[in-house]
Amino acid sequence: MNYSRKIADSLYWVGVNDRRIALFENVYPVPKGVSYNSYLLTDEKCALFDTVDAGFTHELLANVDHVLNGRALDYLIVNHMEPDHCASIADIVDHYPQVKIVCTAKAAAMMKQFFDFDVDHLVQTVKEGDTLSLGAHELTFVMAPMVHWPEVMVTYEKTAHILFSADAFGSFGSIDGNIFADEIDYKCEWLAEARRYYTNIVGKYGQQVQALLKKAAGLEISLICPLHSLVWRQDFAWLLDKYSKWSSYAPEEASVVIAYASVYGHTEKAADLLAAKLAERGIRHISVFDVSKTHPSYIIGEAFRCSALVLASITYNNGIFCNMDTLVHQLVAHNLQNRTVALIENGSWAPTCAKQIREELGGLKNCTVLEPTLSFKSALKDEQAAGIDELAAALCEAIGQ
């Protein structure tokens, strides 16, 4: 059965949806699944852009066979060697023995690590600015190291102005019939998951994404074809602005995300009270998360959206509560920058975890951790509510609200 979609003249989406997957990269929850996008451009020569996850090879081959309708597959362009996109390469080589693989030298080296076929015999390596003519279409290869692995390139087709953008501009979530972003309310339905995808998958490599954006700015673009989620054919300025903010670690808005660790609800109450005080002072779009039941990827996405972050934690084993410890570690690992952070700590006999959180956050660039820490024992008392209000005021001042 064929599930390919024609998305432009001579261009077909031949990818797949994966709604059975629970954890993308065996880490990130994907309640709405994910798509592995592969594209086929037909011309005098036919080129396939990337493949799909190993579990979907048969579906990919059926789609490609249908579109080719007996023609040969001349080229497989490999923009990225992560297995969600490269897993079916050996099957493509088996199925289309005349195919040439076009990729970077680093990708070829990885191909040898992943596969046993004669890579050197089939690969044609390309560098920045190299071109390949398919007939009416001409491809130019643009290096994009660390977006999201070192071997990555993106491919630009200059006749129809198509950017095959690899992981860039992708998102979690399946393609639900509507394959173009402009067919859904993307500012509402796509943005939060795209932010979570970007910040968790590529967030650490902002500098490299900025370098790619600089190159993309010089290209006329009519269509962006990422390796996950929707295809873009309009509102590129909005999309590029989001990527520009995320990759430069600039907040999207003056707002606050509060993440709390609470065993019996007392620290949660303090977090709730702070959220209410912030709202009363005019802060909008505040979000509050329990670190024990929220995967850190959601909080990291929100930390990239907001200008300020509050971490409220109980003290546990004389240290940071385990789930909060994971979040703090992940925030540092994902290179969050340019934020204001406030700390609240609780402990029934020795509230000490904020000192350790503060030390760990020392690894964040250009972030201000407000003084003092709001510290309390067991449960917040009426007389301590003023401290919460002061913290709200300090946060508002720090983020210019």
The nearest distance, CB 22 to ligand FEO, in angstroms, is 17
Q: How far is the CB of 153 from ligand FEO (least distance, A)?
A: 13
Among 18, 74, 167, 302, binds ligand FEO (CB under 6 A): 167
Q: Tokens at residue 326, please?
A: 């994971």
Chain residue whose CB lies nearest ligand FEO: 82
d(CA 401, CA 64): 54
* Closest approach of ligand FEO to the CB of residue 250, in Å: 23
- Asked if 82 is part of the footprint of ligand FEO (rule: CB under 6 A), the reply reads yes
110 vs 258, beta carbon nearer ligand FEO: 110
Segment lying near ligand FEO (by CB under 6 A), choices 42-50, 78-86, 89-97, 265-273: 78-86
If one asks whether residue 81 binds ligand FEO (CB under 6 A), the answer comes out as no
151 binds ligand FEO per the rule CB under 6 A: no
CA distance linking residue 89 with residue 278, whole number of Å: 52
Burial of 366 (0-12, 13-18, 19+ CB in 10 A): exposed
Please select the residue that binds ligand FEO; options are 53, 59, 84, 193, rule is CB under 6 A.
84
Q: Would you say 148 or 305 has its CB closer to ligand FEO?
A: 148
Residues 109-148 interacting with ligand FEO (rule: CB under 6 A): 148
Distances (CA, A) of 80 to 185, 248, 308: 29, 23, 34
What is the residue whose two structure tokens read 């943005």?
Answer: 191
Q: Is 335 exposed, middle or buried (0-12, 13-18, 19+ CB in 10 A)?
A: middle
The Cα 157–Cα 213 span in angstroms is 17
- Which residue, 4 or 229, has its beta carbon nearer to ligand FEO? 229
Applying CB under 6 A, does 286 fall inside the site for ligand FEO? no
Instruction: List all residues 6 or more positions away from 93 whose beta carbon is below 8 Å from its beta carbon.
Output: 76, 99, 101, 117, 122
- CB neighbour class for 310 (10 Å; exposed up to 12, middle 13-18, buried from 19): buried
Q: Which residues, numbered 170-229, are part of the site for ligand FEO (CB under 6 A)?
A: 227-228
The site for ligand FEO (CB under 6 A) is made up of: 80, 82, 84-85, 148, 167, 227-228
